[in-house]
């Protein structure tokens, strides 16, 4: 970001935080303004990536306080969503309906590689509440064979905002299965070269693939499953 862009982003975050501090917001226009601002801040966080090569991108770089900041902000957006959810006056009601509908953990296994069942413990006997990967895999299975960009992007937003907290912790720990699943999401996003999506999705997808090939090369299931994200990201 340029100094000017950084200044305005900082100011917007400060004003946004100030507005969230007082008593509950009753005005529909204010709720919509907060929701729109949260979307824009999340978009900026996702598209703002300084890396120019996969080797300069997470997870290949040393740990930083900015790691996965887009994921943290995405979770915050889901909390702001509660302010406008079920409010009939919201101008965003139609837009957010697909994302806020009840999320199912049913998985369309026919859309996914067979190895997913073993790698992510998707056997019918496994308890969905105890499996940190299950919801993320379920959401992915809904769109992995879909070519409509808005459908995929809204489902990705649901993935960011609603995924199991333990899964997010595993991502910060660079756990291989968590990384592999994120690589599949990024690989799918690479299908749509929108300006705010493609650069992070492609660079970090490539970086994840390189990381897994380097540090988990003996995990044959993981290596086999890397084919899709590598192709989609152009690695």
- The candidate with the shortest Cα–Cα distance to 233, out of 71, 54, 52, 58, is 54
Q: What is the Cα–Cα distance from 134 to 4, expressed in whole angstroms?
A: 42
> What residue spans define the domains of the chain?
3-233
More confident residue, 161 or 127: 161
121-132 tens-digit pLDDT:
998 655 567 899
Give the pLDDT confidence score for residue 38 in this predicted structure: 78
Tell me the whole-structure pTM to 2 decimals. Answer: 0.86
Q: What is the Cα–Cα distance from 25 to 114, expressed in whole angstroms?
A: 48
102-142 tens-digit pLDDT:
566 789 999 999 999 999 999 865 556 789 999 999 999 99
Mean of pLDDT over the chain: 85
CA separation, residue 131 to residues 119, 185, 207 (Å): 12, 18, 25
Residue that is written with structure tokens 């917001």 in the block: 25
Give the pLDDT confidence score for residue 106 in this predicted structure: 85
Give the pLDDT confidence score for residue 22 in this predicted structure: 65
- The candidate with the shortest Cα–Cα distance to 48, out of 211, 207, 203, is 203
């Amino acid at each position: 970001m340029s100094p000017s862009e950084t200044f305005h982003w900082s100011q917007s975050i400060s004003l946004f935080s100030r507005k969230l501090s007082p008593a509950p917001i009753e005005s529909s226009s204010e709720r919509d303004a907060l929701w729109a601002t949260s979307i824009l801040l999340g978009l900026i966080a996702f598209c703002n990536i300084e890396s120019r090569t996969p080797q300069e991108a997470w997870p290949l770089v040393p740990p930083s306080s900015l790691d996965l900041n887009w994921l943290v902000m995405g979770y915050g957006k889901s909390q702001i969503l509660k302010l406008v959810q079920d409010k009939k006056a919201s101008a965003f009601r139609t837009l957010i309906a697909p994302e806020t509908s009840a999320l199912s953990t049913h998985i369309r296994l026919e859309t996914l590689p067979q190895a997913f069942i073993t790698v992510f413990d998707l056997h019918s006997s496994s308890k969905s509440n105890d499996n940190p990967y299950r919801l993320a895999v379920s959401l992915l299975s809904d769109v992995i064979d879909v070519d409509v960009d808005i459908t995929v992007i809204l489902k990705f937003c649901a993935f960011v905002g609603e995924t199991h907290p333990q899964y997010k912790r595993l991502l910060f720990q660079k756990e291989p299965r968590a990384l592999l699943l994120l690589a599949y999401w990024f690989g799918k996003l690479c299908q749509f070269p929108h300006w705010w999506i493609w650069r992070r999705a492609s660079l970090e997808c490539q970086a994840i693939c390189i990381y897994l090939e380097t540090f988990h090369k003996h995990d044959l299931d993981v290596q086999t499953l890397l084919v899709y994200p590598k192709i989609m990201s152009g690695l």
